[in-house]
Amino acid sequence: MSSILTNNSAMVALQTLKSINGNLQKTQSEISTGKSISSAKDNSAIWAISKVMESDVSGFKAVSDSLSLGESTVAVALAGAEQITDLLNQMKEKVIAATGENVDNAKLTNDVTEMKNQITSIISASQFNGANLLNTAGGNITVLSSLDRDAAGTVTAANITVASVDFEAGLDLTTIDVSSATAADGSISAMETLIQTAIDGSAALGASSKRIGDQVSFVGKVMDAMKSGIGALVDADMEEASARLQALQVQQQLGTQSLSIANQAPQAILSLFR
């Protein structure tokens, strides 16, 4: 039956063309944004997962900044501790020299005093952004090292605590006296104690520096892995999108032509009245 009021062929062709246009619009959006899932309506579950992961990536950027700050603080303290160790070794030479006979103890005392002053100066100057791990006032520092998310979605912060070596209190430079051979001889044992304290402090700071450095590397890898995971979830496959775009463009042209043919069908009815 032919009708001029209801054109079933045109309705089918129109619905097909609408479907093609919808798919074409989605494919063009994927190409322009680079994402196959750019909003919650595209795939709510995957979109929600990607947003949680993106928030974690943002959090890890803050962690990376904190680790960089902590790494720099420890590096400054470590440089100071190593320099102090070198100065104490030089001071030991002066102490041993002062135990001999026919030496100028006054000059040796001046040298040792200058070294003591230099060590005190290094302790005070070994600070980064106000944090000093070599003096008493500085105390320990806490470095944000990670954000841990459990299966329930609860996020907790993990920290690395770097203990102060407190050379200000630990290195009693007043025990070193080279004013005479006898005094110098008695200072050798104290000198060994000071050197060992400096070595132990430097080693502790070195271990903390390595741990923070390893954590910096780990956090960087975690961020890269998470970014890659997000991309795998929401990024568009550009090769596939390009091929689909061309196919849909052809389908659109065919759908338009099909709708045009269907719309012309009622005109055939006119021939019945000629």
Q: Which pLDDT tens digits describe the chain residue by residue (274 residues)?
A: 667 677 788 888 889 999 999 889 888 888 888 888 988 888 899 999 999 999 999 999 999 999 999 999 999 999 999 999 999 999 999 999 999 888 999 999 999 999 999 999 999 999 999 999 999 998 999 999 999 988 888 999 999 999 999 999 999 999 999 999 999 999 999 999 999 999 999 999 999 999 999 999 999 999 999 999 999 999 988 998 899 999 999 999 998 998 888 888 777 777 777 6
In contact, 252 and 27? CB cutoff 8 Å: no
What is the reported pLDDT for 167?
96
What is the reported pLDDT for 62?
94
Distance CA 134, CA 243 (A): 64
pTM to 2 decimals? 0.80
Among residues 175, 165, 92, the alpha carbon closest in space to that of 126 is found at 165
Quote the domain boundaries for residue 63: 41-235
Q: Is residue 71 part of a domain?
A: yes
Q: What's the one-letter identity of residue 206? A: G
**Count of domains in the chain?**
2
* Same-domain pairing of 168 and 199: yes
* Same-domain pairing of 254 and 231: no
Q: Is residue 25 part of a domain?
A: no
What is the reported pLDDT for 2?
66
Q: Which H/E stretch holds residue 142?
A: strand 141-149
Q: Is residue 48 part of a domain?
A: yes
Q: Is residue 177 part of a domain?
A: yes
* Same-domain pairing of 111 and 185: yes
* Same-domain pairing of 166 and 130: yes
Q: Where are the alpha helices (DSSP H) in the chain?
A: 8-33, 44-98, 105-125, 167-170, 181-234, 238-264
